[in-house]
Amino acid sequence: MKKTTAALLACLLLLSGLLSACGSSEPLPQESLPQQGDPIAVLETSAGTIRLRFFPEEAPLAVENFLTLAKEGYYDGISFHRVMAGFMVQSGDPTGTGSGGRSIYTDAAGNRGFFQDEFSSRLFHFRGALSMANSGSNTNGSQFFIVQANELADGQEQALKSAGTDRRAVSKYQAEGGTPWLDGKHTVFGQVLEGMEVVDAIAAAQTDEDDRPLEEITILSVTVENYMKQE
């Protein structure tokens, strides 16, 4: 009886280990393609076209907010008011000042306001990540940014390892770059699917002392369509 129990426990431990190994081998959301029919957003900008995919399971509020605003035409004509080469490009403020914009979510009086942060242990600020801009905790409105950094800042790799960050995420950061110090501070809710060269071109624009492009770069339109896999 004792031998049978021991053998059973050994089998269970082995199975647990195998399942754990299988789970850890699954790609991170930002490493996989969207599913057929998933919504994607097409940003037609004055610098070119950027296509974005989304992660509604991890950040449902942020995704619904962006897609609804896009369908309303809210982002059409809005500028990239802050761009920083080697860091990110930011837009989504109809006032163009960096202090405007509201979400689709309303308060008790029916006024559009802010919504809470949505942090996921499976999403990271890799190069190409789409994330909510904010002015502190739970102040998400309509502003967003796309990470443009193509390498890690000094000390970031060791900081990731010391923090026990998922090894897959560390490897992706090492290979592609990003801004890991923003993890847990801003809500990642999407990723560039196509058009990183356009993001790079926007980031390379000449700017003033406030990181505003000297020549305005705008979002001409944002349309939402269903993703179709290429055969």
Average pLDDT, the chain: 90
User: Using one digit for the tens of pLDDT, what is the confidence trace for 69-98?
Assistant: 999 999 999 999 999 999 999 999 999 999
Q: What is the pLDDT of residue 111?
A: 82
Q: Are strands 129-132 and 188-194 parallel, antiparallel or unpaired?
A: antiparallel
How far is the C-alpha of 58 from the C-alpha of 207, rounded, in Å? Answer: 34
User: Using one digit for the tens of pLDDT, what is the confidence trace for 181-203?
Assistant: 999 999 999 999 999 999 999 99
Say if pTM beats, i.e. exceeds, 0.85. Answer: yes
Task: Point out the residues that are catalytic.
Answer: 82, 87, 90, 134, 145, 182, 186
How far is the C-alpha of 136 from the C-alpha of 114, rounded, in Å? Answer: 11
Q: What is the pLDDT of residue 107?
A: 81
The structure tokens listed for 121 are 């242990």
User: Using one digit for the tens of pLDDT, what is the confidence trace for 129-181?
Assistant: 999 999 999 999 999 999 999 999 999 999 999 999 999 999 999 999 999 99
The structure tokens listed for 154 are 């000094």
